[in-house]
Amino acid sequence: MAQDNNIENMTQVDGAYDASQIQVLEGLEAVRRRPGMYIGSTDERGLHHLVTELVDNSIDEALAGHCNQIEVILHADDTVSVRDNGRGIPVDIHEKYGIPAVEVAMTILHAGGKFGGGGYKVSGGLHGVGMSVVNALSEAEHVEICRNGKRYEQDYSRGVALGPLKEVGQSDTTGTYHRFKPDSQIFETTVFNFETIRQRLRELAFLNKGIKIIVKDEHEDNKKENVFFYEGGIIEFVEYLNKGKSVLTEKPLYFEGNKGTSVVEVALQYNDSYKETMYTYANNIATHEGGTHLEGFRRALTRAVNEYARKFKLLKDSEPALSGEDVREGLACVVSVKLEEPQFEGQTKTKLGNSEFRALTDSVVGEGLSIFLEENPNEARIIIEKCLMANRAREAARKARELTRRKNVLEGNSLPGKLADCQDNDPSKCEIFIVEGDSAGGSAKQGRDRKIQAILPLRGKILNVEKTRTDKMLQNAEIRAMITAFGAGIDSEFNIEKLRYHKIICMTDADVDGSHIRVLLLTFFFRHMPELIQNGHVYIAQPPLYKVTNTRSKVNHYFYNDAELREFMDSKDENERKGYTTNRYKGLGEMDYNQLWETTMDPASRTLLKVTMEDAIAADQIFSLLMGDLVEPRREFIENNAKLVSSDDLDI
């Protein structure tokens, strides 16, 4: 067999080795000079792209039917490894380059996918250039191949092989192993985030049923391991999205179909919430901007539901049809398509352009759903009832909004009475503090910089919008005060251009009630003004937990957590410590306006946490779990204490 050649000898006697090395350097130098062109950026995002590139190759091997397990490890030395049990990258000598095929793949740009195999490549790799790009951007990379009953190894640095591929022993399995250390000369950070990698791998496991994906963090103080294996694929994805919610059908509905090598898979399940949760993918890449598959899906869903509703007189001939929004309320759905030559369009290249997917998705969903409704009259009735309710509520909400708007006009578009507005009218300079309680509101009004800081005090508990329909919600005074103060409207009428403050700062007590109010506020923003969070306009104020006063000088020191307080006290000796008194703040109301300004509001010295939507799935989960009515998952969540606010986003 060709692969049994003695690789070491071959490569050394063959003059092509030198020639190819020159080409290698030229190709990979380009990658090192302009990494952004190949991996998007050199920040944390680009860094994580390296892992995705390698995993995508293994996913391709799995989709070709030769691999069912992938293991990703974040090692304690901040290297990452990816191992699969596929066929192993070929090691036979490449005709043109005179070096083993694996070395071609590792060192020559655009080499990926060009050496045999023939399987169809669908995953998100950068057109097969992935492996060489990862190699070019790694300080060190180690590769192991098990194939032909043997084990081979090779090491690289910054894209250059440190020696020839070596046969190092026997092997009774096959597979590929990469371990790399990202180049600190290239990346702003070389520390991987386990959570980011975990989320992406779980998503890939959902999207590619039957592949077992193992992810481990081997950092000493933080050892973790997850195994993602979903035989149900996107059916289990939808169940995951609906976790903690009450669902209208026992199982998600699942439709699949194909035309030639183009494949469409759809799973959907209604829950009793009012929100649509929709994830669409092409070749395992999230199509955030939608595209033809989403259009086909929507068209089919609206048509099938309306046809059924009319046929069985659930919708009278005299009534207008249910709208797309009506039929998608409370829907959790995943659409995943796989195709040979995806065209990605749109601003962020995340919109599927291949026109044949409009009709293909439409027919797969249209036929599948019509059959389901016909065969399951009980479920059909429940789903249609839900859509009809959505339709009525939307009508009521429209009227309520109109009323709110007209009232504002009548009142001369007046701002809420409780609002102490700021003087500047450049939104980019202005901030609004949403403050819990009248007494803290009073201090905030006194302490603020009235030029750029507005204060809106809220009384008591905020409405839980997760359990309230829009029309009801709009009757709530606190909610209305926020909508009018912000000035940008809500839902489909939200217009970020009209936003009156670019910083919306939630200032609540550091106790349980305070955190409850904060979650209620964030839920309202998330559900009805998500652009606020997406655009980074929402912040959490950080009031101190402790005040320590020097009894002689009367100088105050403020501490925001126990560790800071302890550090301060530890820096004093026993005697000095006696000269201080410590107060633990229970609420904002305990601070006078000077203290509140100094510790929490003064832009020059405060700390704000920015609320981010890094991961829409995680955020959605958090909000549903916290705000839904199922108690058990909520407790589970609080115990696991997922992060809502990214403490990395410190804004001083």
Query: Catalytic residue among 256, 272, 513, 564, which?
Result: 513
Nearer Cβ to ligand 0RA (147/328) = 147
Question: How many residues at the interface with ligand 0RA, by CB under 6 A?
Answer: 12
Q: Does 208 bind ligand 0RA (CB under 6 A)?
A: no
Nearer Cβ to ligand 0RA (34/127) = 127
Least Cβ distance, residue 54 to ligand 0RA (angstroms): 7
Q: Let me know: does 107 contact 164? Beta carbons within 8 Å.
A: no
Stretch in the footprint of ligand 0RA (CB under 6 A) among 57-65, 391-399, 447-455, 618-626:
57-65
Q: Let me know: does 165 contact 98? Beta carbons within 8 Å.
A: no
User: How many Cβ atoms from other residues are within 10 Å of residue 234's Cβ?
Assistant: 27
Least Cβ distance, residue 61 to ligand 0RA (angstroms): 4
User: How far lies 282's CA from each of 37, 76, 279, 347, in Å?
Assistant: 21, 34, 10, 16
Least Cβ distance, residue 55 to ligand 0RA (angstroms): 9
Nearer Cβ to ligand 0RA (53/329) = 53
Stretch in the footprint of ligand 0RA (CB under 6 A) among 53-61, 160-168, 359-367, 533-541:
53-61
Least Cβ distance, residue 81 to ligand 0RA (angstroms): 12
Site for ligand 0RA in 528-547 (CB under 6 A): none
Q: Going by C-beta distance under 8 Å and a sequence separation of 6 or more, which residues neighbour residue 6?
A: 167
Cα Rg of the chain (Å, integer): 29
Q: Does 84 bind ligand 0RA (CB under 6 A)?
A: yes
The answer to whether residue 317 is catalytic is: no
The answer to whether residue 651 is catalytic is: no
The answer to whether residue 511 is catalytic is: yes
Q: Does 633 bind ligand 0RA (CB under 6 A)?
A: no
Q: Let me know: does 114 contact 165? Beta carbons within 8 Å.
A: no
Q: Going by C-beta distance under 8 Å and a sequence separation of 6 or more, which residues neighbour residue 232?
A: 209, 239
Provide the β-strand partners of residue 336. 265, 281
Q: Does 86 bind ligand 0RA (CB under 6 A)?
A: yes
For 611, the 3-state DSSP assignment is strand
Q: Going by C-beta distance under 8 Å and a sequence separation of 6 or more, which residues neighbour residue 562?
A: 545
Q: Give the per-residue contact string, 102-141, with ligand 0RA (x = CB under 6 A; - = no).
A: -------------xxx------------------------
Q: Of 57, 81, 190, 287, which one interacts with ligand 0RA (CB under 6 A)?
A: 57
The residue of the chain with the least Cβ separation from ligand 0RA equals 117
Q: Going by C-beta distance under 8 Å and a sequence separation of 6 or more, which residues neighbour residue 447?
A: 593, 594, 596, 597, 601
Query: Catalytic residue among 436, 466, 478, 598, which?
Result: 436
Token pair recorded at residue 318: 């005299």
Q: Of 27, 35, 90, 366, which one interacts with ligand 0RA (CB under 6 A)?
A: 90
Can you tell me which residue has the tokens 């201090």?
Answer: 443
Least Cβ distance, residue 20 to ligand 0RA (angstroms): 19
Kind of pairing between the strands at 212-217 and 224-228 = antiparallel
Site for ligand 0RA in 546-565 (CB under 6 A): none
H or E segment at 637?
A: helix 631-640
Q: Give the per-residue contact string, 165-184, with ligand 0RA (x = CB under 6 A; - = no).
A: -----------x--------
Query: Catalytic residue among 511, 531, 562, 592, which?
Result: 511
Least Cβ distance, residue 212 to ligand 0RA (angstroms): 15
Dihedral of the alpha carbons of 511, 517, 522, 528, in degrees to the nearest 10: 180
Q: Does 56 bind ligand 0RA (CB under 6 A)?
A: no
Token pair recorded at residue 370: 């019509």
Q: Of 35, 52, 61, 361, which one interacts with ligand 0RA (CB under 6 A)?
A: 61
Give the span between the Cα atoms of 521 and 252, in whole angstroms: 31
Q: Let me know: does 230 contact 112? Beta carbons within 8 Å.
A: no
Nearer Cβ to ligand 0RA (82/481) = 82
Strand order in the sheet with 538-541: 453-458, 431-436, 503-507, 538-541, 608-611, 645-651
Which residues in this chain contact ligand 0RA in the complex, by CB under 6 A?
Answer: 57-58, 61, 84, 86-87, 89-90, 115-117, 176
Q: Which residues are catalytic?
A: 436, 509, 511, 513
